Amino acid sequence: MWAVLFGGTPQAQESAASGGHSYVSFVPLDTVTVAQGHKAPVTFTFRVEKSYHINSNKPLTEELIPTQLHFSLPGEIAIGKVEYPAGILTSFPFDVTQKLSVYSGEVTIHAMVLAPQEAQAGPLTVHGELRYQACDNNACYPPKKLPISFNIKISASSVRKRARGNAQSPHIH
């Protein structure tokens, strides 16, 4: 089933996952390289279709659905320190007295890929989804899930063992 969902364009991926109109697309990443026992930054970029917005990760009211990234992780890797951008406070014609925290245009989410020392070197593919709710100036639409995937290359660690120094003091006696 995953092979069907993750093929094709971001728009085709979105339509296959939740049907209907596509409001957000995923900008594919280059392969993320991380050494065993280390971490590497990763940046996810999404584009919200013109004339639409999506709720931020921290909407101002409980009934609004936050934008969130979720992952299905292979092997021993982890993704941590997911940092969502601050939403833009915007009022809309349906209630000009209330401001909502939203994203529009290009949305960039930062995170860290962590590979433990015991992680096996080699390529991996991470699958995930962006959960969001799109709205225009007049209405909000049912929540969507946009499938994403990206590749990670775990490289062998080049950890060097410290050479044991001479027990003698470096000071001259």
Q: Looking at the predicted structure, is the pLDDT value of residue 18 above 80?
A: no
Task: Quote the tokens at residue 6.
Answer: 């993750």
Distance CA 161, CA 98 (A): 60
Structural domain includes residue 165: no
Structural domain includes residue 128: yes
Structural domain includes residue 83: yes
Phi-psi region of 135 (alpha: psi -120 to 50; beta: other; left: phi over 0): beta
Task: Quote the tokens at residue 71.
Answer: 């992952």
The total domain count for the chain is: 1
**Overall average pLDDT of the 107-125 stretch:** 95
Position 92 scores a pLDDT of 83
Structural domain includes residue 169: no
Structural domain includes residue 44: yes
- pLDDT confidence of 93, banded at 50, 70, 90? confident
User: Can you state the percent helix, strand and coil of the chain, rounding each to 5?
Assistant: 10, 50, 45
Distance CA 64, CA 66 (A): 6
Structural domain includes residue 161: no
For residue 87, give the CATH number of its domain: 2.60.40.1250
**Most confidently predicted of 109-113, 161-165, 169-173:** 109-113
Structural domain includes residue 162: no
What amino acid is encoded at 65 in this protein?
I
Position 159 scores a pLDDT of 57
- pLDDT > 70 fraction of the chain, expressed in percent and rounded: 80
**Overall average pLDDT of the 3-23 stretch:** 47
Q: Looking at the predicted structure, is the pLDDT value of residue 12 above 50?
A: no
Q: Which domain holds residue 54?
A: 2-155
Q: What is the pLDDT of residues 68-92, one digit of tens each?
A: 999 999 888 999 999 999 999 998 8
Structural domain includes residue 170: no
88 contacts 106 by C-beta, under 8 angstroms: no
Output DSSP code: residue 80. E
Task: Quote the tokens at residue 61.
Answer: 């009211």
Strand partners, 149: 127
Tell me which residue has tokens 């991470």: 126
